[in-house]
Amino acid sequence: MQQIAWLASLVLMTLVGLGFAFVAINSGAREEDYGRVVHSAYSTRTKLFWTLVLVFGPVMIYTLRDLPYDAGHARSNSGPVQVVQATAYQWRWELSRDRVAKDQPVEFRVTSADVNHGFGIYDAGMHLVAQTQAMPGYTNIIRHTFRNEGTYRILCLEYCGIAHHNMMAEIKVGGL
């Protein structure tokens, strides 16, 4: 996915660069019939606008479906929701429970007692499975259904001071 995003950015940056180069090279030329140029520029602009709407509208709707916020909600029929209250401190996590069952939705209610932190859940292979921000005065909710047993780690994703790297907690997923 990162690779695709990078390639797409590269192609688009090249196109923008070529556009600038085209304008720079042709900036010396004088156009007599200004009205004709205005007309064709406006019609190009209209076409470009609708092309962008038609291309990026569906892309936006398609990619928004990947947002995790409501994922557990939609599947909450697959079992009772297990609630984990998570509070961030400089520099530790406080979890209301450290064991949850697999294949049942877990609702993490994440907040902070001091500064902003990032709440990231990693699997045994250190792949990020879900994340949200831990903010003082707010409770951010993420729902995640663990499909694999094992020990997951919670790491802070936002630099929060000198011992930021020590902010680690474990949560065990298995049969309860």
Binding site for Cu ion (CB under 5 A): 117, 156, 160, 164
**Closest separation between CB of residue 167 and Cu ion, Å?**
5
* Residue 71 buriedness (CB in 10 A; 0-12 / 13-18 / 19+): middle
Strands 150-156 and 117-122: antiparallel
CB nearer Cu ion, residue 103 or residue 114 = 114
CB nearer Cu ion, residue 156 or residue 169 = 156
**Closest separation between CB of residue 141 and Cu ion, Å?**
20
**Closest separation between CB of residue 63 and Cu ion, Å?**
28
Tokens representing 47?
């076409």
Task: Using DSSP, state whether 33 is helix, strand or coil.
Answer: coil
CB nearer Cu ion, residue 146 or residue 152 = 152
Give the neighbor-by-neighbor strand order of the sheet with 92-95: 92-95, 82-89, 105-112, 140-145
Tokens representing 167?
């902010």
How many C-beta atoms lie closer than 10 Å to residue 124's C-beta? 11
**Closest separation between CB of residue 117 and Cu ion, Å?**
5
CB nearer Cu ion, residue 86 or residue 160 = 160
Compute and round to an integer the Cα radius of gyration of the chain: 25
**Closest separation between CB of residue 148 and Cu ion, Å?**
26
CB nearer Cu ion, residue 167 or residue 173 = 167
